[in-house]
Amino acid sequence: MRTSRYFLPTLKEDPSEAQIVSHRLMLRAGMIRQSSAGIYSWLPLGLKVLRKVEDIVRQEQDAAGCQELLMPTIQSAELWQESGRYDDYGAEMLRIRDRHDRDMLYGPTNEEMITDIVRAHIRSYKDLPKNLYHIQWKFRDEVRPRFGIMRGREFLMKDAYSFDLTYEGARAMYNKMFVAYLRTFARMGLKAIPMAADTGPIGGDLSHEFIILADTGESEVFCHKDLLEYDVLSEDVDYEADLQPVVDRWTSLYAATDEKHDPAEAAKLGNDLINARGIEVGHIFYFGTKYSKAMNATVAGPDGDQVFPEMGSYGIGVSRLVGGLIEAFHDENGIVWPEEVAPFGAGVINLKSGDADCDAVCDDLYARLQAAGRDPIYDDRDERAGAKFADMDLIGIPWQIVVGPRGVKNGVVEFKNRANGEREEISAESALARLTA
């Protein structure tokens, strides 16, 4: 993409309404634009990152054996009345009445709808287990939306729902999702710590939040320092094997949010205790037969008796993750994207657009990076060098190739690593080789 053609409305100054780093940088980098309180349009740069995060989430769900479907945003109130949650959910639920005077709602979650789908089509234990997920926009009418997409009213979520015949099967499915979540966040460069959590309005008696550590995190967290050293990607995972040992390894050490914190237990860790700020990016629940019983969703068991499937649900805030990534990866100049989620794989900066020699080198680099699948962004604007450097750092492009008249004359370009700021002069061919090897 050429910057001269790209819709990239960057800002030089921090917006006054933005209170946290991710909100400020998303607005300044032209990633989002507020439509109304807690509701945002995703502009081209922001949407590219959102889609990359979504792709990683989808890949790991598929690898764990989940199957993707798509449920609507608008749901019938009847399903929620059937489960008993319609009146209990409170003011966060946006309730709607259609032209035929039927009560509807903008879904904040999908336990009822997926249970209705399964009870209509799955009648035998032979059709279990199933883990079905979708990636869909949700709405929760937060009383005080703030912090940009981190605490918005409309958000993109991956929510999965599992159905098993027995508790043992449901617990095995819970463990699959536990490990899949660890891998999902690790692939984005994040260190996520699983912490025992309350179940809230979802219900159930087993739940873990996945928390990433960030100085600007919304809540205080406590954990054993060894949890920060575990590398879940260093070994292949077999989702058909018993994953309880993996889960036990991650949950045997102390880790708690401020709500679950036990000061006496934490004090035993001494210098091994980490006290930091954290951001929730995922949440998994086992809630047994809460919804299958309430909605009379049964299957015929091996002996012919009707059985209520054991259920769980598993959420990842996909749009929230974009903000979480920025909170974890930024510096004084802007965003520092991990390569896996960067909107562009490389940037080419032409310091003298219109100069025949500079244009020729840049055009060649741009074309060859495109051919290699690096999805480059090429700043070909007639703009001062400082503005080009500032924008490229602001939007967080991990690798930057700077082409200027002096370098072209000497047969070199400047190759910059955004993460550590290191710059070196090398040939254009060497820069290409590093990015396309």
**332-343 per-position pLDDT tens digit:** 999 999 999 999
Of 335, 361, 386, the last residue of a domain is: 335
Q: pLDDT class for 258, splitting at 50, 70, 90? A: confident
Of 335, 356, 376, the last residue of a domain is: 335
Greatest C-alpha distance within the chain: 82
What proportion of the chain, given as a percentage, has pLDDT over 90? 87
Res 205: pLDDT: 62
The pLDDT of residue 248 is above 70 = yes
- Are 384 and 241 part of one and the same domain? no
- Are 39 and 130 part of one and the same domain? yes
Least confident stretch, 72-86, 159-173, 201-215, 387-401: 201-215
Res 411: pLDDT: 95
The pLDDT of residue 204 is above 80 = no
Residues spanned by the domain of 193: 3-335
> Per the structure block, which two tokens stand in for 237?
């995972």
- Are 425 and 369 part of one and the same domain? yes
- Are 212 and 250 part of one and the same domain? yes
> Per the structure block, which two tokens stand in for 418?
């955004």
The pLDDT of residue 206 is above 70 = yes
Q: How many domains does the chain have?
A: 2
Q: Which residues pair with 157 in a beta bridge?
A: 136, 317
Instruction: Please report, for the domain that includes residue 158, its CATH number.
Output: 3.30.930.10
- Are 204 and 296 part of one and the same domain? yes
Instruction: Please report, for the domain that includes residue 422, its CATH number.
Output: 3.40.50.800
Q: pLDDT class for 197, splitting at 50, 70, 90? A: confident
- Are 262 and 183 part of one and the same domain? yes
- Are 236 and 378 part of one and the same domain? no
Q: What is the C-alpha to C-alpha distance for residues 292 and 170, in angstroms, rounded to an integer? A: 13
- Are 370 and 326 part of one and the same domain? no
Res 199: pLDDT: 55
Q: What is the mean pLDDT of the chain?
A: 94
Q: In the chain, helix, strand, coil percent, each to 5?
A: 35, 30, 35
Of 335, 363, 383, the last residue of a domain is: 335
Give, in degrees to the nearest 5, the angle at Cα 157 between 155 and 161. 145
Long-range contacts of 249-253 (CB under 8 A, 24+ apart): 250/178, 250/182, 250/194, 251/194, 251/196, 251/208, 253/223, 253/224, 253/226, 253/227
Res 323: pLDDT: 96
- Are 320 and 278 part of one and the same domain? yes
- Are 176 and 219 part of one and the same domain? yes
Give the position of tokens 């896996």: 340
The pLDDT of residue 201 is above 60 = no
